[in-house]
Amino acid sequence: MKKIKYLIFILFITIPTKSFSLIEVDITRGNLNPLPIAVSPLSYNQESRSALEKELKIEDLGSEISKVIENNLKKSGLFNPLNNDAFLQKPDIAHLKPRFEDWALIKAQALLTGKVDLQDEKLRVEFRLWDVLAGKEMLALAFTTVPKNWRRVGHIITDKVYERLTGEKGYFDTRIIYVAEEGPKTKRIKKLAIMDQDGFNTKYLTLGKELVLTPRFSPTNQIVTYLSYFRNLPRVYILDIETGIQEVVGDFPGMTFAPRFSPDGKKIIMSFAKDGNSDIYTMDLENRIVERITNHPSIDTSPSYSPDGKYITFNSDRSGYQQIYVMRSDGSKTKRISFGNGLYGTPVWSPRGDLIAFTRLHRGKFYIGVMRTDGKGERLLTENYYQEAPSWSPNGRVLIFYRETKSGDQGEGFSAKLWSIDLTGYNERLVETETDASDPSWSSLLSN
Amino acid sequence: MILSKFYRNTFLVLLLSLVLSACATQKAVKIDSKIQGDVYTGTDSVKYLADGVKDRVFFATNESVLTTASRDTLRKQAAWLRKNSDITVVLEGHCDERGTREYNLALGERRANAAKDYLMTYGIASDRISVISYGKERPVDSGSSPLAWSKNRRSVTVKAN
């Protein structure tokens, strides 16, 4: 497959720094005491400031980047960004050498400082992370990119800070693809939409003329697979986000749906429904070879690969009701793993490999939960009137899903929104979107 | 003393059973008219392909089994199709909103095919019938009540030419 350079080239320069084992944030438990962190506005000289203002029409880019970082840190639930009004030290001086006692006074445990420059029409950003109590520098990095990428700079810095303080990769320099919804329930208009993880830079990828559902990112990021009712033929498509080129991949004599990429991005796994029976198939995107994976008179759908590509989890009603199964990727050794009361659907394998997230319907309530890949250790994270379709953050710590509200007899009061929740079951949040939204899919990290 | 207690209890029981049966009757009447055994039996959304030929059949939750009434409707559709041999149809399978999207797409397809199979057993060639599933995407009733859901669990026969 042609590899498209989606990323604007980002150059990392590591500024030499001694590393100590200093502050750490434990992300395995619901964090009731988020780490107080001071994000000092990024500083710049007057020359860069006016040049950037001219280029981007943003008055104070340094502060705007800091706001992106603060917002990310706050929403993670692990950090408590402190109010800027209390900061005593000037940003440019703090970046050179913080007066730690000033920052300790406002109860900051970590401090982030930085500087932006415009050099040869490139935005150069450097930042430092400091442990206030130990009085030590923890991390120092600099990178350059095109100025219009400034929000991504904020996301990349957040990822570095998160990684340094938690020991795990972040999920901030990522995007969400979803279905944007408008109009009454009986005539809902649906479009593919994509936005940054924090809800900015929304773009609509289809016009809403045909019904589109269940977009999912390729692990290589610039391609999505989804279901489109183009010409009233429900088929699986792929779409290159950068070029806008769409292509049908599941053009079988019947409906193809529920697509996902294999972990290497080379295959699409999907359901094919014909004569009242849905089974799971794969298609190799290079040579177009189709393989049948399941062959059972029941409904087999919602397939999802394990990150090593050796197993597939899927949804089947072969027991009489919707349950979750795991099989080898060739379709052998099928084993049911869900045994609780009610129905189970939409299994999705965690990028860490150890858990499967799912939707459970029991006594008229919908739950998002996780279980181990052998079905043990089931934990329900959230209960609601209607919610489904979890998708993992690339580090496997957060799930995004959608919720619908109960409506009145004329459909009044209906809404569909994206929500996120930590694997711990804490930090449940509405993910704001310009329109109603469903079927979210989280990209992997854009920069690695 | 004991006797009066006995009477009092009996009275309470009687009163209670009256209240309960009143509730039950009311509920039964309300639902009976439109839903039987979880399947919609009303005519709210129903259209007619020809005189006396209903365009749709309804299903129970999570089911694709045709009821006696559904089979009757489909036999009438088959007779109409035999009389009008140039007509082709699309069977549109639908679900209620209380299921996961992907499973519902499969279930809608299964429902439409249940109707298709029945039409075929009454002599309609398969090349005159195509099938499409809309899952839960195109409800006919936008409410969130058992009655609205029962109307939405359907297979609709639509003239294609």
CATH code of the domain containing B89: 3.30.1330.60
Q: How far apart are CA A72 and CA A398, in angstroms?
A: 13
* pLDDT tens by residue, A334-349: 999 999 999 999 999 9
Mean pLDDT of A266-293: 96
Which residue, chain included where needed, has tokens 């006594």? A363
Q: What SS3 class is residue B156? A: strand
Chain A window 305-344: which residues touch B at a Cβ cutoff of 8 Å? Answer: 315, 317, 321-322, 343
B101–A232 C-beta distance less than 8 A: no
Searching chain B, which residue's CA lies closest to the CA of residue A315? B103
Domain co-membership, B10 together with B76: no
Give the model confidence (pLDDT) of A205-222 as tens digits: 999 999 999 999 998 778
Q: Which residues contact A231 (CB under 8 A, 6 or more apart)?
A: A210
Chain A residues within an 8 Å CB radius of B100: 302, 315, 322, 345-346, 359, 361, 388-389
Q: Quick check: B28 pLDDT over 70?
A: no
In terms of domains, do B155 and B80 share one? yes
Q: Which of B62, B127, B144, B147 to mutate to test the interface with A (most CBs of A within 10 A)?
A: B144
**Chain B residues within 8 Å of chain A (Cβ atoms):** 62, 64, 97-103, 105-107, 109-110, 112-114, 117, 132-134, 137-145, 148
- Its CATH architecture, for the domain A175-442, is 6 Propeller (2.120)
List the single residue in B with minimal CA-CA distance to A259. Answer: B102
The pLDDT, as a whole number, for residue B20 is 45
Measure the CA–CA gap between A21 and A250, rounded to whole angstroms. Answer: 51
Let me know the angle formed at the C-alpha of A260 by A369 and A341, rounded to the nearest 5 degrees: 30
> Tokens representing A85?
């009004």
Query: B106–A414: do the CB atoms touch at under 8 Å?
Result: no
By residue range, what is the domain housing residue B146?
34-159
Condensed to tens digits (0 to 9), the pLDDT of residues A399-419 reads 999 999 999 999 999 999 999
Is the model's pLDDT at A35 over the cut of 80? yes
Interatomic CA distance for residues A88 and A19, integer angstroms: 27
CA dist., res. A8 & res. A5, Å (int): 7
User: Which residue in the set B105, B142, B148 is minimally distant from A257, CB to CB?
Assistant: B105
pLDDT band at A4 (very low <50, low <70, confident <90, very high): very low
Residue A101 has a CB neighbour count (10 Å cut-off) of 10
CATH 3.40.50.10070-classified regions of chain A:
11-166
Q: Is A86 helix (H, G, I), strand (E, B) or coil?
A: helix
Choose between A41 and B25: higher pLDDT: A41
Of residues B150, B159, B160, B158, the one with CA closest to residue B67? B150
- In chain B, the number of structural domains is 2
Question: Looking at residue A320, what DSSP letter applies?
Answer: S
pLDDT at residue number A220: 78
Q: Tell me what pLDDT residue B23 has.
A: 43
CB A224 within 8 A of CB A439: no
- Tell me where in chain A the CATH 2.120.10.30 domain(s) lie: 175-442
Testing the interface with A: which of B61, B94, B102 to mutate, by most A Cβ within 10 A? B102
Name residues whose C-beta falls within 8 Å of residue A163's C-beta, 6 or more positions apart in sequence. Answer: A169, A170
Is a pLDDT exceeding 50 seen at residue B3?
no
pLDDT in tens, B33-62: 788 889 999 999 999 999 999 999 999 999
The structure's pTM equals 0.90
Same domain assignment for residues B15 and B81: no
Residues B10 and B81 in one domain: no
Tell which residue, A46, A42, A120, A39, has the closest CA to residue A82.
Answer: A39
CATH number at A11-166: 3.40.50.10070
Q: What is the mean pLDDT of residues A388-401?
A: 97
